[in-house]
Structure 1
Amino acid sequence: MSPNDASPEPAAPVPPADPPGASPAAAPASARPAPGVPRALWIAAVAVLLLGASGAYLGWSAQQRVGLLEQELVRRQQATETAVTEARVLANEARDAARDAAARVALLDARVSEAALQRSQVEQLLQSLARSRDDKVVADVDSALRLAMRHATLLGSPEPVVVALRQADERLAQIDSARVQRVRTALARDLQRLGAVRTPDIATLAARVDEVLRQVDELPLVALVEPRRAPAATPPRAEPAAPAAAAASAPDAPASAAGWLERVPAVTRDVALRVWAEAKSVLRITRIEDPAAMLLTPEQAYFVRETLKLRLLSARLALLARQFDLAQTDLHAAAAMIERKFDPQSRRVQVARDTLRQAEQQAREVELPRPDETLAALAALLR
């Protein structure tokens, strides 16, 4: 019988595997290998069991660690998202704050510029206030004097300059400084020179022209004047014993008639004297420079008076405007018209003519002197 045909030996029963984690020492005594099993097999089985238990433990432990890592990652991811959101909010706030800061900086720059401008103005004001009181007074005097010169030029009278110089002298007298003595000396010389100037009084001249203008309608014209009747002479009744004395005492008797009057009777002499007196009252001999003045009609006389009024009004306006050449021309023409057209023997005509002649002589332009010495002294003091 061959060895292959021999029946196999009954196999030994395999002990049950130990549960994972069970130590070999904890194995029951019944689990110990049977006496017929090889020792190496038992050792391999135990090693496999130990390895399986270790692998299971390691897998479980790794799984726990992975779960913990996943939780930590999730937590950190949530924290990161929260931080990112907060960072975005902070970035927006920072951007808004930067904009506000830029606007505030621009506003501050504008205010700084304004403050710098105000500071410069204040410095200028302080510098102007820091000037001495004397300089201010001198500057005010110079300005007032120049303004008075303009007024004097407009008015044609040195009175504004004289008033300004007197006021300047009063103000400079209050300054106890040797610097202003030169100015006061020049001021006194200018006052003396201006005081010697005689300018026409425009108001007085205009008043005279107005007075003549009001009397134009009352002045008698040569053509319309009535003959002056002499009082009727009552010849004295001469006695026959003294015919020569009566003839000599008779007014206006011609010298040639004295001889023959002595030889005529008294009645005839009285009649002759009466006829002579009546003839003298009727006849009038007047010397007239302009014969056309005797030919004026009453209607033409109205226009003569109106023409004279226009001349006087033109002269008055020229005086008020200080156009002395035109005023002299109008006054001369008005005086000549009064002398030609009106009765020269009338007292009113004579007074009007003389008034216009005097106004014509006084209406002359006078060159006003300038206070150059005072201005030069003030300019030297203000340097």
Structure 2
Amino acid sequence: MTSTPETASSSAKPVASAPVPVRRAWTRWLAIGVAGLALLVSVLLWQKLSRIQEQLARQSADTGQQSLEAKAWAKQAQETVKDSAARLALVEARLGEVALQRGQLEELMQSLSRSRDENLVVDIESALRMAQQQAQLTGSIEPLLATLKSAQMRVQRAAQPRLAPVLRALEKDLDRLKTANVFDLPGLLIKLDEGVALVDGLVLANQELPTAAMSRTLAEAGSSPPPPSWWMAGLNQFADQIKGLVRVSRIESPEAALLSPDQGFFLRENIKLKLLNARLGLLARQKDAARADLASAAVIVRRYADGSSRKTTQMLQLLEQSGMQLKASDIPPLEGSFTALATAAAGR
């Protein structure tokens, strides 16, 4: 039996329509599976969200507790800071008091040190001025040298930097005094006293030498002639008096020949007065007057004394040495030391 196209198409329709219910079943089951899967996922998500919520709640609670603890710690820290600030302020106040007390103590020590230095400076200055006056009165530099050495040792023991210029000035003045050519007043006074003692033994130019009379006496005693008669003794005594009236000797200065024996005493006294005036001039620091008196005494001795006499030579040498010593310079002033002491006392 042959089939036609119509039959074929009619027979094919039932075959093609048979899988439709199957697809629909699969679609339902797929939808159910998807729904179940979505439900499962929703449940899982819900559980996860619940756990997240719980965790967030716990974290929030923990955070709140930590926040409370942090607030408590912050409050405690704030109180500690306030306490520390109060203590720090107290410590700073005490430190300020200590610093103030330290400053006052340093000022006190500095004032004590300054007063000690000032007392030392004033003491040294007064000692130097007293030694200078003593040296001017005595004419000797030994008091100045001793005082300068003592002042130098005291400044060295003080060991103060502000007194270093004073020490240098003292050393310079000490060196200058050691090398200075200063006349020795005590030595000059002793020499003048020796000159006054020599005046009485001066042999004047018109005076009979005691050696000639002594030799004549010794010759007469050595010959021991027989005792003369009374008229011979009287004649010899008269002859001696006549010989005393006339004496021949060499006199260099014509003024000495006109000097009578009685005026010899006044001449010696005049020389003594010249020497004593020179002595007073030295004590009064009148060197020119003393030099003039010594020169006048030397002129008188050369004019009226016997140049061949040993005492005349000694007298002239003494007067010459005294004049040479008077040419020496005066005691040098201590201007450097006094200036340095004044600067140190002023605190500069």
Q: Normalization by structure 2: what TM-score?
A: 0.52
Q: What's the offset of the Cα at 1:285?
A: 6.3
Distance 2:129 2:266 in 1: 49
Bigger radius of gyration among the two = 1
Distance 2:206 2:113 in 1: 81
Partner residue in 1 for 2:238: none
Instruction: Report whether the alignment pairs 1:309 with 2:309.
Output: no
Matches within 5 A, 1:283-294: 286=250, 288-294=251-257
- Quick one: which of 296, 300, 303 aligns to 1:333? 296
Tell me the secondary structure at the aligned position of residue 218 of structure 1.
coil
Q: Contact 1:324 / 1:365 at 8 angstroms: preserved in 2? A: no
Higher RCO (C-alpha under 8 Å, 6+ residues apart): 2
Instruction: Report whether the alignment pairs 1:201 with 2:221.
Output: no
Distance 1:326 1:289 in 2: 29
Q: What's the offset of the Cα at 1:340?
A: 1.2
Instruction: Report whether the alignment pairs 1:160 with 2:143.
Output: yes
Deviations 1:230-252 (Å, cap 9, x if unpaired)?
x9xxxxxxxxxxxxxxxxxxxxx
Distance 1:227 1:155, change over 3 A: closer
Instruction: Report whether the alignment pairs 1:174 with 2:157.
Output: yes
Partner residue in 2 for 1:215: 198
Q: What's the offset of the Cα at 1:370?
A: 2.5
Instruction: Report whether the alignment pairs 1:380 with 2:343.
Output: yes
Partner residue in 1 for 2:260: 297
Distance 2:144 2:151 in 1: 10
Q: Contact 2:173 / 2:337 at 8 angstroms: preserved in 1? A: yes
Deviations 1:169-193 (Å, cap 9, x if unpaired)?
1111212333323321221111101
Distance 2:119 2:266 in 1: 63
Q: Contact 2:140 / 2:185 at 8 angstroms: preserved in 1? A: no
Q: Contact 2:131 / 2:147 at 8 angstroms: preserved in 1? A: yes
Q: Contact 1:225 / 1:343 at 8 angstroms: preserved in 2? A: no
Matches within 5 A, 1:360-371: 360-364=323-327, 366-371=329-334
Tell me the secondary structure at the aligned position of residue 180 of structure 2.
coil
- Quick one: which of 113, 120, 144 aligns to 1:137? 120
Q: For structure 1, list consecutive stretches of 5 or more residues without a partner in the other structure.
A: 1-125, 232-281
Superposed CA RMSD in Å reads 3.2
Q: What's the offset of the Cα at 1:127?
A: 11
Q: What's the offset of the Cα at 1:342?
A: 1.2
Q: Which moved more, 1:147-156 or 1:173-182?
A: 147-156
Q: What's the offset of the Cα at 1:130?
A: 7.4
Distance 1:132 1:298, change over 3 A: closer
Q: What's the offset of the Cα at 1:365?
A: 6.2
Tell me the secondary structure at the aligned position of residue 329 of structure 2.
coil
Matches within 5 A, 1:44-55: none
The sequence identity of aligned pairs, in percent, is 39
Distance 1:131 1:368, change over 3 A: same
Distance 1:153 1:212, change over 3 A: closer
Q: Which moved more, 1:348-357 or 1:180-189?
A: 180-189
In structure 2, what residue type is equivalent to 1:197? A
Distance 1:176 1:142 in 2: 18
Partner residue in 1 for 2:172: 189
Distance 1:337 1:290 in 2: 11
Q: What's the offset of the Cα at 1:165?
A: 1.6
Distance 2:141 2:167 in 1: 19
Tell me the secondary structure at the aligned position of residue 318 of structure 1.
helix
